[in-house]
Amino acid sequence: MKTSSIAPFFATLQAANPQPVTELAYTSVFELLTAVLLSAQATDVSVNKATRTLFPIANTPQKILALGLEGLEGYIKTIGLYHSKAKHLLQTCEMLVTLHGGLVPRTREALEALPGVGRKTANVVLNSAFGEPTMAVDTHIFRMGNRTGLAPGKTPLEVELKLLKRIPKAYLVDAHHWLILHGRYVCQARKPLCWECSVAAFCDFKPKTVKN
């Protein structure tokens, strides 16, 4: 993607969705951290279904700890890898209580020190909860970065660093959400819907034409 195409690319996405947000349901920073931790290799829909019953009962580190392992697993067993996620979440809650007064820390270093929290999860929390201009590269953003030519790279970190460098500052805080949503619903993995893509004019990808 040409540098001159990047600003209109994001301006078009912004015009269609001026205030993009994550599709994970949450009402506090801790709920967001919990939802993102549970969302690894799972859909937002499946996570929201589980947290819809979990959060009314336990939506603080202290309340999650009070559930215990079996109690917590009972709420999240419909999510993939629920056993390891339950252990990580309990360990994270223990650290939040003992090291951070029950609050979610605002630094990358402290977030990534929590069990089950990697760079991508930390980036989501920093961006969605604290408004930091971070880029959480999931499968959709990795695909978009490479397919569009916006930020080609062989690893998520390479794509992340290129995106942070190429995206204009005015769009950077919301770019993560625009790219995820566009990748999820339009620029899909197997069959991108190029014929209904609002930013196709700026994209390097050329769909194959079907011969009669």
Where do the domains of the chain lie? 3-20+134-202, 29-128
Point out the least confidently predicted range of 35-44, 135-144, 191-200, 203-212: 203-212
Q: Does residue 154 carry a catalytic annotation?
A: no
The catalytic residue among 120, 154, 204, 206 is 120
For the segment(s) 29-128, the CATH number from 3.40.50.2300, 2.120.10.80, 3.40.50.970, 1.10.340.30 is 1.10.340.30
Taking the C-alpha atoms of residue 195 and residue 177, their distance in angstroms, rounded to an integer, is 22
pLDDT at res. 209: 54
Of 17, 4, 2, 48, the C-alpha closest to 179 is 17
Active-site residue, from 2, 87, 138, 169: 138
Kindly state the average pLDDT of the residues 145-169: 97
**pLDDT given for residue 212 in this prediction:** 41
Mean pLDDT calculated for residue range 65-69 = 96
CATH of 3-20+134-202, one of 3.40.50.300, 3.40.50.1820, 3.40.50.720, 1.10.1670.10: 1.10.1670.10
Residue 206: pLDDT band with limits 50, 70, 90: confident
Residue 191 catalytic? Answer: no
- pLDDT (tens digit, 9 = 90+) per residue, 71-106? 999 999 999 899 999 999 999 999 999 999 999 999
**Sequence-separated (6 or more) residues with CB below 8 Å from residue 93:** 61, 62, 64, 65
Answer yes or no: pTM beyond 0.85. yes
Q: What is the DSSP annotation of the chain?
A: --HHHHHHHHHHHHHH-SS---SS--SSHHHHHHHHHHTTTS-HHHHHHHHHHHTTT--SHHHHHHHHHHHHHHHHTTSTTHHHHHHHHHHHHHHHHHHHTTS--SSHHHHHTSTT--HHHHHHHHHHTT--------HHHHHHHHHHSSS--SSHHHHHHHHHHHS-HHHHHHHHHHHHHHHHHTS-SSS--GGG-TTGGG----PPPPP-
